[in-house]
Homo-oligomer: A and B are copies of this chain.
Amino acid sequence: MAALDQLVEALRRLPGVGPKSAQRMAYHLLQHDRAGAQQLIAGLTEALARVQTCTRCHGFSEAPVCAVCSDGTRDLGLLAVVESPADQAVLERSGSYRGYYFVLGGRVSPLDGRGPKDIGGEALIARALDGGVREVILATSFTAEGEATAYLLGEALKSRGLSVTRLARGVPVGSELEFVDLGTLAHALADRR
């Protein structure tokens, strides 16, 4: 059936979903949870229409400037640099950070020819020099590419007289920031160097 097969194909594009899972999801929705399928259509449609990029931090936002960037009670002197909106969300949920964010467009990848410019490095430098920032916390992943990103951005920021720190090594080396438990992340924030 064409419509069923197309639904299975679409579900396979979700991260972590293989052909068997996609098939199971499609049959489940059509047989047992058509209301859930409607809810998913509505959720996707709304999110696509409403979730845009914050003009200040480049994270997700439903307004031109996101709730964090609009929050005047935060520490203007702190700027955390993360790889993605998901990493920003997990750092925020750790409850240990009261500064502002800058969300990169991923990490540098020398093998793919993706350098600091391709992930928003220039916008980061402009933002970091935009008055009041006394410390830039590089919260990129502790993978090879995340470390390379932190190194390259760190050098560029330091050469402009900015103070640069990195999350403490409490974060297990080789892991993705998004999957770190919140306690470890809180320690890593406290011990930043």
Contacts and interface: CB of A to CB of B under 8 A. Distances in A.
Interface of A: 1-4, 6-7, 9-11, 13-16, 20-21, 23-31, 33-34, 36-51, 60-62, 67, 84-86, 89, 178-179
Given A13-B33, A27-B86, 19 more contacts: A1-B50, A1-B67, A2-B62, A4-B60, A6-B43, A7-B47, A9-B43, A11-B43, A13-B40, A14-B29, A15-B28, A16-B25, A27-B89, A29-B44, A30-B60, A31-B86, A37-B47, A38-B48, A41-B45
B47 A30 contact: yes
- Summarize A's interface: helix, strand, loop or mixed: helix
A48 B7 CA distance: 10
